[in-house]
């Protein structure tokens, strides 16, 4: 199938990042849509970065042979935390968009591998943040294939809210359901599992926080390696909370047995205005901003809710090995 001509395209005409959702059913539709998109890029002299599940890699490689302008990246590199994905995509696009050469991406998220309701919610938030991450970059566009074979209309509707465009029949159209508002409507955080441990902290309490988390994490079955990582993340978040959250806060810890996760929750009166905070790697000369980045790298999931009127809640999730 040939790539659509510019005259066939509908949607935004001004230059800028195009974020397209591509609902498909079955391998044949997956191939037709993604190959159209790739051929369109190659005809325009653009590079393409592909991050899709391994079975889809095999399908595409069989059709593309060894096309040098198309790069397949390892989707397991960022790990399970959706908070690392923006940083991974920024790095991939920068690496493979040589010089001023435009670059496109194809990214299919493993939605059905979501570990929990919270994990699924953060995956959707990542898709929405991509619009901000590439708004002023050399990245030309990104296509997000989504397997709609199970006909879960609610899941598709939630996902479509994160994409300004939808690809249909070889071209893209405006998505009237896109959330163009500056603030993302987060899902409500689940209530802490009972029983939970609680500690109020202020200046000079970092040692007490680390000790509390270490004991609770050990009791929950967190491995020693993960405990060491968690200790660093907890120190970073607690330090930020004390410095920027009014000087005090509340720590809660609990185990979510259904998801096999140990959770540390920090609450304070501070406000994080930048939704991209912690999502991209800090620069060498950057002052501050490393705490959230480290937390995303060290934890299996990070949830952040912050508003001027309610303050900030940060939850650090650490996977616990299942018994038996």
Say how far residue 37 (Cα) sits from the centre of its chain. Answer: 23
pLDDT of the residue at 98: 66
Could you tell me which of 126, 56, 115 has the C-alpha nearest to residue 80? 115
**pLDDT number for residue 258:** 83
CA-CA-CA-CA torsion sign (136, 37, 126, 154):
positive
Strand 70-72 vs strand 261-268: parallel, antiparallel, or unpaired?
Answer: unpaired
Q: Are strands 165-168 and 18-24 parallel, antiparallel or unpaired?
A: parallel
pLDDT at position 99: 65
Structure tokens, 121: 């919610």
pLDDT digits (tens, 9 = 90+) for 27-86: 999 999 999 999 999 999 999 999 999 999 999 999 998 889 999 999 999 998 999 999
Number of H helices, E strands in the chain: 8, 12
Query: Partners of 302 in the beta sheet?
Result: 316
CA gap 238, 209 in Å, rounded: 8
Residue 312 class from Cβ within 10 Å (0-12 exposed, 13-18 middle, 19+ buried)? buried
SS3 for 59? helix
pTM: 0.91
Strands 311-319 and 139-147, how do they pair? unpaired
Report the candidate in 270, 272, 252 with the shortest Cα–Cα distance to residue 317.
252
DSSP string covering 176-233, please? TT---SSS--PPPPPPPPSS-EEEEEETT-HHHHHHHHHHHHHHHT--HHHHHHHHHH
**Can you give the pLDDT at residue 10?**
38
Angle at the Cα of 164 from the Cα atoms of 98 and 126, rounded to 5 degrees: 70
- Residues in Cβ contact with 169 at an 8 Å cutoff, skipping those fewer than 6 apart: none
Strand 261-268 versus strand 311-319 pairing type: antiparallel
What are the structural domains of the chain?
Answer: 6-174 (3.40.50.300), 197-319 (3.30.565.10)
List of E strands, 65-160 = 70-72, 103-107, 139-147
Q: Which residues of the chain fall below pLDDT 50?
A: 1-14
- Quote the pLDDT of residue 263: 98
Contact 44, 102 (CB under 8 A): yes
CB 254, CB 192: distance < 8 Å: yes
Alpha carbon distance 116, 129 (integer Å): 20
Task: Read off the DSSP letter of residue 190.
Answer: P
């Amino acid at each position: 199938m040939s790539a659509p001509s510019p005259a066939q395209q509908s949607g935004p005409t001004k230059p800028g990042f195009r974020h397209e959702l591509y609902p498909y059913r079955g391998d044949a539709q997956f191939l037709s849509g993604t190959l159209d998109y790739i051929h369109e890029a190659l005809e325009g002299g653009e590079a393409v970065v592909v991050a899709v599940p391994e079975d889809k890699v095999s399908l595409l490689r069989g059709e593309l042979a060894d096309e040098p302008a198309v790069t397949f990246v390892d989707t397991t590199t960022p790990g399970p935390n959706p908070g690392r994905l923006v940083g991974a995509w920024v790095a991939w696009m920068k690496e493979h968009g040589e010089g001023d050469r435009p670059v496109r991406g194809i990214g299919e998220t493993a939605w059905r591998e979501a570990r929990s309701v919270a994990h699924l919610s953060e995956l959707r938030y990542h898709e929405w943040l991509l619009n901000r991450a590439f708004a002023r970059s050399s990245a030309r566009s990104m296509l997000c294939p989504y397997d709609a074979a199970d006909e879960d209309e609610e899941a598709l509707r939630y996902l479509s809210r994160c994409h300004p465009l939808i690809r249909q029949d070889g071209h893209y159209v405006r998505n009237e359901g896109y959330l163009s508002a500056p603030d993302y409507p987060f899902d409500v955080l689940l209530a802490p599992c009972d029983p939970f441990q609680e500690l109020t902290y202020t200046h000079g309490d970092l040692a007490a926080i680390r000790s509390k988390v270490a004991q609770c994490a050990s009791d929950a079955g967190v491995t020693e390696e993960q405990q060491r990582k968690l200790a660093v993340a907890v120190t970073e978040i607690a330090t930020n909370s004390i410095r920027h959250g009014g000087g005090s806060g509340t720590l809660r810890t609990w185990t979510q047995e259904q998801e096999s996760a140990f959770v540390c929750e920090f609450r304070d009166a501070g406000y994080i205005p930048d939704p991209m905070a912690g999502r991209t790697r800090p620069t060498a000369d950057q002052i501050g901003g490393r705490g959230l980045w480290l937390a995303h790298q060290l934890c299996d999931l990070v949830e952040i809710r912050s508003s001027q009127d309610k303050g900030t809640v940060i939850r650090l999730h650490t996977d616990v090995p299942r018994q038996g």
